[in-house]
Amino acid sequence: MGLSERDRKVIWHPYTQMQTAGLPVPIVRGEGARLYDEEGNEYIDAIASWWVNTHGHAHPYIAEKVAVQLSKLEHVIFAGFTHEPAVELAERLLKVLPPNQSRVFYSDNGSTAVEVGIKMALQYWHNRGEKKQKIIVLSNSYHGDTFGAMSASVRDLFTEPFWDLLFDVLCVDAPVKGKEIKALEQLADAAERDDIAAFVFEPLLQGAGGMIMYDAGPLDNMIGICKQKGIPTVADEVLTGFGRTGKFFASDYLANKPDIICMSKGLTGGTMALGATSCTAGIYDGFLSGDKRKSFFHGHSYTGNPVACAAALASLDLFDRKETWDNVVRIIGRQKDFVTGIASHHRVRNARQTGTIIAFDVVNGKETSYLNDLRDWMNDYCVNRRIIIRPLGNVMYLIPPYCITDNELDRVYSTLRSMLDDIES
Ligand SMILES: *Cc1c(COP(=O)(O)O)cnc(C)c1O
């Protein structure tokens, strides 16, 4: 029995309707932007394995650093104890994060990084004895799959079974083209309330909500209003961090820096599960007290795992190399040429780009939605041609690892072009 059939007997996959899904592709090896299946077929990973991979698969330098750490110290409780990789990683993150950030709190994925950010903001007010519990979020937002992260996300298909159980948030329009003024007005109105605890947003790019993009300027103005009102701002940089937008963080495009920043996906170069939430001294100081009840009672068994921190440090070493940023610039250029060229295709609407990421809606006469049935057809079309994509309904996007070569990009682009030509109405 092959791996896929064994899998089907014992495994329940994420975001998968197990009754109708095809068998999963059994991957045995990765190298650069390529993955290889059991039969030796070579695939190009055009979505960085669910948006996490930055430097390529099984990167030898990261592998070596992880191996060294693994035989030295694999894990230790992170309350009452510490270790070199966690300390060095926090020191180095604070060097690349916006200068207002002063502390790093570890967790182990993107959803928990956001949970931590939200809980920090809520308890910040609780510790001050002020009842402020309303969170402002943006339309289309996606912040993860745990309950707090779901609550802060738009009420959509993903969270529908749980709507009644999610805490109430105030949703304002994302400041997309044409809605900048309205978004700002809605936020200004919301910020007038005296019970606002925080404003949570995905800066510049709303990922799972449909790869929706907007400019830094309008967000900057929205954060500016929060600053005036003393409302903590939480940037969910789980997707946008680590070069995705062309700079280290999307927040680097903002004049008004967020108070809390959530990181995960690219943090370890896509090697290990790790989350980190950084905050300003102002937020951190709000938890200092002679009263133990004001402590941040949050932690995970694998908080600050040394092996994951070593992977993140190795990834940061690679970000110190000029070559990595040259690649980011190269990809931004290549993506721009492709997306500009494809924009006028009769199947394409709303071709767009933020940094290394491009997206466009594929038109098939049905509405743009996660359930648009074009999705499975496009997915199969590309995977059959050994290009790994994962469209959000009829929204197609590319999030390549930075090591992807020009030849590999050409293969991806030509497959997408023929895919668009081959769609039957
Ligand atoms: C993926 C994602 C998350 C959730 O991260 P997980 O590691 O999948 O829990 C949160 N926020 C954003 C913006 C994301 O893209």
Q: Which two tokens stand for residue 113?
A: 């990084």
| Ligand 1 and 143: CB distance under 6 A | yes
Q: How far apart are CA 179 and CA 191, in angstroms?
A: 18
Ligand 1 atom with the smallest distance to the CA of 144 is 4
Shared domain for 311 and 341, answered yes or no, is no
| Ligand 1 and 238: CB distance under 6 A | yes
Gap from CA of 118 to ligand 1 centroid (Å):
14
Angle at CA of residue 235, ends 354 and 189, nearest 5°: 100
The boundaries of the domain holding residue 27 are 3-58+322-422
Gap from CA of 424 to ligand 1 centroid (Å):
34
Give the residue numbers annotated as catalytic, written as ranges.
15, 142, 236, 265
Contact 387, 44 (CB under 8 A): yes
Quickly tell me which residue has 């707090």 as its tokens: 148
Report which residue type is found at 394.
N
Q: Looking at the predicted structure, is the pLDDT value of residue 98 above 90? A: yes
Shared domain for 272 and 386, answered yes or no, is no
- Confidence at residue 244, expressed as pLDDT on a 0 to 100 scale: 98
pLDDT band at 379 (very low <50, low <70, confident <90, very high): very high
Contact 303, 274 (CB under 8 A): no
Shared domain for 287 and 377, answered yes or no, is no
Shared domain for 344 and 257, answered yes or no, is no
Gap from CA of 144 to ligand 1 centroid (Å):
5
pLDDT in tens, 110-128: 999 999 999 999 999 999 9
CATH at 380: 3.90.1150.10
| Residue having the nearest C-alpha atom to atom 5 of ligand 1 | 110
Shared domain for 97 and 207, answered yes or no, is yes
Contact 258, 286 (CB under 8 A): no
CATH at 71: 3.40.640.10
Domain count for the chain, please give it.
2
CA-based nearest residue to 358, from 327, 326, 391, 335? 335
pLDDT band at 235 (very low <50, low <70, confident <90, very high): very high
| Ligand 1 and 140: CB distance under 6 A | no
Long-range CB pairs of 372-378, under 8 A, 24+ apart, other chains included:
374/423, 377/423, 378/419
Phi, psi for 32 (deg, rounded to 5): 60, -135
pLDDT in tens, 29-64: 999 999 999 999 999 999 999 999 999 999 999 999
Q: How far apart are CA 367 and CA 353, in angstroms?
A: 21
Shared domain for 287 and 366, answered yes or no, is no
Mean pLDDT of 276-296: 98
Cβ-based neighbour number of residue 288 at 10 Å: 10
Walk across the sheet containing 27-31 and list its strands: 27-31, 34-37, 42-45, 387-388
Q: Last residue of some domain: 319, 336, 365?
A: 319
- Confidence at residue 424, expressed as pLDDT on a 0 to 100 scale: 86
Shared domain for 46 and 69, answered yes or no, is no
Mutate-to-test residue for ligand 1 from 111, 118, 159, 251, highest number of ligand atoms within 8 A of CB: 111
**What is the helix, strand, coil percentage profile of the chain, to 5?**
40, 15, 40
Shared domain for 288 and 304, answered yes or no, is yes
Gap from CA of 291 to ligand 1 centroid (Å):
34
pLDDT band at 10 (very low <50, low <70, confident <90, very high): very high
Shared domain for 379 and 393, answered yes or no, is yes
Q: How far apart are CA 225 and CA 192, in angstroms?
A: 10
- Confidence at residue 1, expressed as pLDDT on a 0 to 100 scale: 82
Shared domain for 368 and 301, answered yes or no, is no
Gap from CA of 158 to ligand 1 centroid (Å):
13
- Confidence at residue 425, expressed as pLDDT on a 0 to 100 scale: 66
Report which residue type is found at 259.
D
CA distances to 136, 137, 180, 201 from 141, rounded to whole Å, are 11, 7, 16, 7
For the whole model, what pTM was predicted? 0.98
Mutate-to-test residue for ligand 1 from 108, 109, 245, 264, highest number of ligand atoms within 8 A of CB: 264
**Dihedral of alpha carbons 289, 293, 294, 299, sign:** positive
Shared domain for 133 and 44, answered yes or no, is no
3-state secondary structure labels for all residues of 361-391: EECCCCCCCCCCCHHHHHHHHHHHCCEECCC
Q: How far apart are CA 282 and CA 297, in angstroms?
A: 18
| Ligand 1 and 251: CB distance under 6 A | no
| Residue having the nearest C-alpha atom to atom 15 of ligand 1 | 239
Gap from CA of 320 to ligand 1 centroid (Å):
25
| Ligand 1 and 104: CB distance under 6 A | no
| Ligand 1 and 241: CB distance under 6 A | no
| Ligand 1 and 210: CB distance under 6 A | no
Average pLDDT, the chain: 97
pLDDT in tens, 178-187: 999 999 999 9
